Amino acid sequence: MSNVETKRLRTNHTNTQKQTLKALHQAKKTENGRQMEETCPFLLYLLTHYSIYYPSLIQFLAKGCTNTGWLYTPVTPNPS
C-alpha cells in the first residue's frame, strides 16, 4: 500500500467519523427540540396561572421557552 493510498484511507475514515458525529449531534438537537415542545405548554400554563404569586420564578421558567428574550413581562398590579 502506497503512502498516497494510506493518506486517502485515513482521510476517508476521518470524514466518515465527522459525518457520524454530525448525524449524532443533529439527532440530539432534534430530541432536545421535541422535549422542549412537550414541556413548553406546561410552562405556559405556569406563566398564566402563577404569574401573580411567583413572578421571579415565572421569568426564570419562561426564559427556557424562547431564544429572543423574556416571554413574561412583569406588570404592576392595579391598586384598586
Which tens digit of pLDDT belongs to each residue from 16-41? Answer: 666 777 777 777 777 766 666 566 66
CA proximity to 44, closest of 15, 18, 23, 65? 65
What's the rounded mean pLDDT across residues 43-50? 62
Q: Flag whether pLDDT at 14 surpasses 70.
A: no
> Which cell numbers in the block locate residue 77?
398590579
pLDDT 10s digits, 47-75 = 666 656 666 665 665 555 555 555 555 55
| Contact call for residues 18 and 32 (beta carbons, < 8 A) | no
